[in-house]
Amino acid sequence: MTHEIRFLFQTLKSWQEIGKKAVFISIVALDGSSYRRPGVCMIMSQDGGMVGAVSGGCVETEIERQAQRVFQTGKAKVIVYDGRFRIGCEGIVHILIEPVFISDELFAAFEKQIEKRQSFRMEAWFYREVGEYSNVGTMVLLNGRKYSLNPSFTIDQLTNQECFAQTLKPLFQLFIFGAEHDAVQLCQAARLLGWEVTVVASPDESKSCEYFPGANSLIAPTFNDIDTSGIDEQTAVVLMTHSFNKDVQYLMALKDTHPAYLGLLGSNNRRERVLSMLLDYMPDISTDFLEQIHGPAGISIGAESAPEIAVSILAEILSVIRRQQPVSLSEKVGSIHG
- Residue 13 has what pLDDT? 97
Q: Per-residue pLDDT for 171 more than 90?
A: yes
Beta-bridge partners for 176:
199, 238
pLDDT (average), residues 202-215: 85
Cβ(59)–Cβ(42) below 8 Å:
no
Cβ(12)–Cβ(55) below 8 Å:
no
Query: Does 326 map to a domain?
Result: no
Single-letter amino acid, residue 317: I
pLDDT (average), residues 284-296: 94
Domain identity same for 180 and 201: yes
CB under 8 Å to 123, separation ≥6 — which residues? 138, 139, 141, 146, 163, 164, 165
Nearest to 92 by CA among 179, 41, 29, 39: 29
Query: Does 17 map to a domain?
Result: yes
How do residues 78-107 score in pLDDT, each as one tens digit? 999 876 555 455 578 899 999 999 999 999
- Residue 320 has what pLDDT? 96
The CATH number of the domain where 306 resides is what?
A: 3.40.50.720
Domain identity same for 149 and 194: no
Domain identity same for 83 and 222: no
Three-class SS state of 229? coil
Domain identity same for 208 and 155: no
Domain identity same for 179 and 160: no
Domain identity same for 156 and 212: no
Q: Per-residue pLDDT for 33 more than 70?
A: no
Query: Does 334 map to a domain?
Result: no
Query: Does 299 map to a domain?
Result: yes
Query: Does 208 map to a domain?
Result: yes
Cβ(263)–Cβ(317) below 8 Å:
yes
pLDDT (average), residues 17-45: 87
- Residue 48 has what pLDDT? 87
Domain identity same for 139 and 261: no
Residue 290 belongs to domain spanning:
173-321
Peptide bond into 296 cis (omega under 30): yes
- Residue 61 has what pLDDT? 84
Query: Does 101 map to a domain?
Result: yes
How do residues 42-66 score in pLDDT, each as one tens digit? 999 999 899 988 876 668 888 889 9
Q: How far apart are CA 108 and CA 295, in angstroms?
A: 41
How do residues 142-159 score in pLDDT, each as one tens digit? 988 999 999 999 888 888
Helices (H) and strands (E) in the chain, counts: 9, 16
pLDDT (average), residues 276-280: 95
Q: How far apart are CA 303 and CA 182, in angstroms?
A: 12
Q: How far apart are CA 128 and CA 93, in angstroms?
A: 10
Q: How far apart are CA 314 and CA 195, in angstroms?
A: 11
Domain identity same for 198 and 70: no
Query: Does 79 map to a domain?
Result: yes
Residue 55 backbone phi and psi in degrees, to 5: -155, -170
Reported as a pLDDT band with limits 50, 70 and 90, residue 237 is very high
Angle between helices 244-254 and 268-281 (to 10 degrees): 60
Cβ(194)–Cβ(186) below 8 Å:
no
User: Based on the structure, what is the number of domains in the chain?
Assistant: 2
How do residues 112-135 score in pLDDT, each as one tens digit? 999 999 999 999 999 999 999 999
48: left (phi over 0), alpha (psi -120 to 50) or beta: left
Domain identity same for 217 and 98: no
Q: What is the pTM of this model?
A: 0.87
Q: How far apart are CA 85 and CA 19, in angstroms?
A: 39
Single-letter amino acid, residue 235: T
Cβ(21)–Cβ(8) below 8 Å:
no
Q: Per-residue pLDDT for 190 more than 90?
A: yes
- Angle at CA of residue 190, ends 291 and 293, nearest 5°: 5
Average pLDDT, the chain: 90
